Amino acid sequence: MENKWVIAIHGGAENQSPDDLSESRQAAYEQGLENALMAGWHILNEGGSAVDAVEAAVKSMENNPLFNAGKGGSLSKDESNEFDACIMDGKTMQAGAVAGVKRVKNPISLAKTIMQQSKHVLLCGSGAEDFAHEQELEFKADAYFKTPEKEKALKEAKKEEATYGKDTVGAVALDQQGNLAAATSTGGLVNQYQGRVGDTPIIGAGTYANNDVCAVSCTGDGEGIMRANTAHEVYALMKYKGLSLKEASQEALHLYKDRIEGDRNFIALDSQGNVEFTFETSLMFRACKRATEPVYVAIWPDEQVIWEKE
């Protein structure tokens, strides 16, 4: 089969109804998704790598205050922003991740730099920030990341003594050379304890890529996704049980649900260019584009993507 290079992205998954999302806000999300998608697609179209494509797509969403990553990320209990991010190269199985980092403008670029310029996989907190300074990555003042919407959300969460907001952004790609990559980035939960780390930077939990099988990026209940090892389960069900991408995605969605609570949502892409958007929330912000085929951008479950028959 001809290699069908493709990129797919998600901007998080939530439980909202169409009445909760105004037409103007929905249009803004759709435009933000398309901008991020095309940032990655142009790299693939020019023969660039899947790694560079997923970084570009996620970076675009980190720069957009609509999404819970980078600018506009959720605020922790101490009113600070803490970011987690991860990237994995399916060709080499090298990975880079960062957790609990502050003031780095684009955590996904720091994760990629860790992968390419250090012997480590995961750096946290001040150590990760020191490394970012050494690599001359861009920093921003605390005020850059904070938005009135997220400050209001923190006040409400403190009143209710709750944590919420499970959005995460991510991308998976298959390049013209047949290589897969996955990237994920998040601002965490509203009113989370400072120092809390979710599934995003954990290889095999929130992010995974292997050229032989698939690439996966998750969003949802981070604690549950970590315990279920969701991204790697999609891989394992395909590799060891021989399931298709669709079958493996559905089984991973429900695996150990009797013991592990919380919603699991993810995008997955296999080595043949097949894409699955799997979610159990009422919506997922999502988009994809295969080679020169039309752009697909969707939010609601009934907006199904119909791929060209192979």
Instruction: For residues 216 and 131, give the distance between their C-alpha atoms in angstroms, rounded to a whole number.
Output: 27
Q: Is 168 one of the catalytic residues? A: yes
Asked if residue 292 belongs to a known ligand binding site, the reply is no
Instruction: Name the catalytic one among 113, 168, 207, 230.
Output: 168
Are residues 62 and 71 in contact, defined by beta-carbon separation less than 8 angstroms? yes
Asked if residue 286 belongs to a known ligand binding site, the reply is no
Are residues 217 and 245 in contact, defined by beta-carbon separation less than 8 angstroms? no
Asked if residue 198 belongs to a known ligand binding site, the reply is yes
Asked if residue 221 belongs to a known ligand binding site, the reply is yes
Instruction: For residues 39 and 58, give the distance between their C-alpha atoms in angstroms, rounded to a whole number.
Output: 9
Asked if residue 73 belongs to a known ligand binding site, the reply is no
Are residues 162 and 155 in contact, defined by beta-carbon separation less than 8 angstroms? no
Asked if residue 220 belongs to a known ligand binding site, the reply is yes
Question: Side chain identity at 106, as an amino acid letter?
Answer: N
Asked if residue 32 belongs to a known ligand binding site, the reply is no
Would you state the structure tokens that stand for residue 62, as one six-digit string? 């980190």
End-to-end CA distance of the chain: 8
Asked if residue 101 belongs to a known ligand binding site, the reply is no
**Which residues are catalytically annotated?**
168
Give the residue ranges of the annotated binding site for substrate. 196-199, 219-222
Give the residue ranges of the annotated binding site. 196-199, 219-222
